[in-house]
Amino acid sequence: MFQWLASATLTLLLTGCLGGSIGQQIVQSILLQGADKATASAMDAHERNQIALAKKNAKPDPYTIAFLNSGFEPVSAKIEPLPEVPIIEEEQVLPMMQETKLVPVEIWSLLAGEEKQNVLEAARLRGSTEIPPKDEWRQWQIATGASHQSNQPITFLIPPEMGRMRSGAKAMVELSRSNELSVARYSLN
């Protein structure tokens, strides 16, 4: 490569194309780039030789030896029968999912005292599953209100987790199925 570069430089100098300081800088730059590449290649070759020599003379550590000597047991698939799927007979009826409707309700008033006790007792006698145990009745509130969609009155329970509600407050109420009290699920205030 140096022979080709030297002959090209000599030819250009003889023809007069590379006269002056710019020409000298270009020639120096080309020669230095070539020298840098040659030096880098020599250093890389020397480094590879040093690493190969160190690997050849080094003793492998015990972990490497253990890993190289270890083996893996062959894995075989375990075949298990599928679980039996119960056959649904025509006579068996699966319970259907029931859809509930949530509506925004504005609280008109809160029931208290004997009136609250009467509503909860009536719901308990009807077999309502939404009412709390009797010893927790004091913590729950009962309110009446109406949704904005229909001005039909709704009586509903307010769980203690929602905090104390007041007249004029708004709540998202889950409308009840038959023989159940509706229940406030979220406060909208």
Cα distance between residue 27 and residue 135, in whole Å: 101
Helix (H, G, I), strand (E, B) or coil at 145: strand
DSSP assignment of 47-83 equals HHHHHHHHHHHSPPPHHHHHHHH---PPP-PPP-PPP
Q: Looking up tokens 């194309």, which residue turns up?
A: 17
Q: Looking up tokens 């002959």, which residue turns up?
A: 7
Q: What is the pLDDT of residues 140-176, one digit of tens each?
A: 899 999 887 777 888 889 999 988 888 889 988 888 7
Cα distance between residue 31 and residue 20, in whole Å: 17
Q: What does the pLDDT read at residue 39?
A: 92
Q: What is the pLDDT of residues 28-37, one digit of tens each?
A: 888 889 889 9
Q: What does the pLDDT read at residue 28?
A: 85
CA dihedral (59, 64, 68, 74) in degrees, to 10, reads 170
Q: What is the pLDDT of residues 77-114, one digit of tens each?
A: 888 888 887 766 655 565 666 667 888 889 999 988 89
Segment 66-79 mean pLDDT: 80
Residue 50: pLDDT above 80? yes
Q: What is the pLDDT of residues 117-139, one digit of tens each?
A: 998 888 888 888 888 888 888 89
Residue 15: pLDDT above 60? no
pTM of the model: 0.47
If one compares 75 and 184, the residue with the highest pLDDT of the two is 184
Cα distance between residue 79 and residue 92, in whole Å: 33
If one compares 39 and 15, the residue with the highest pLDDT of the two is 39
Residue type, 36: D
Cα distance between residue 11 and residue 16, in whole Å: 9
| Spatial CB neighbours of 131, under 8 Å, sequence gap ≥ 6 | 120, 123, 124, 157, 181
| Spatial CB neighbours of 121, under 8 Å, sequence gap ≥ 6 | none
Cα distance between residue 141 and residue 143, in whole Å: 7
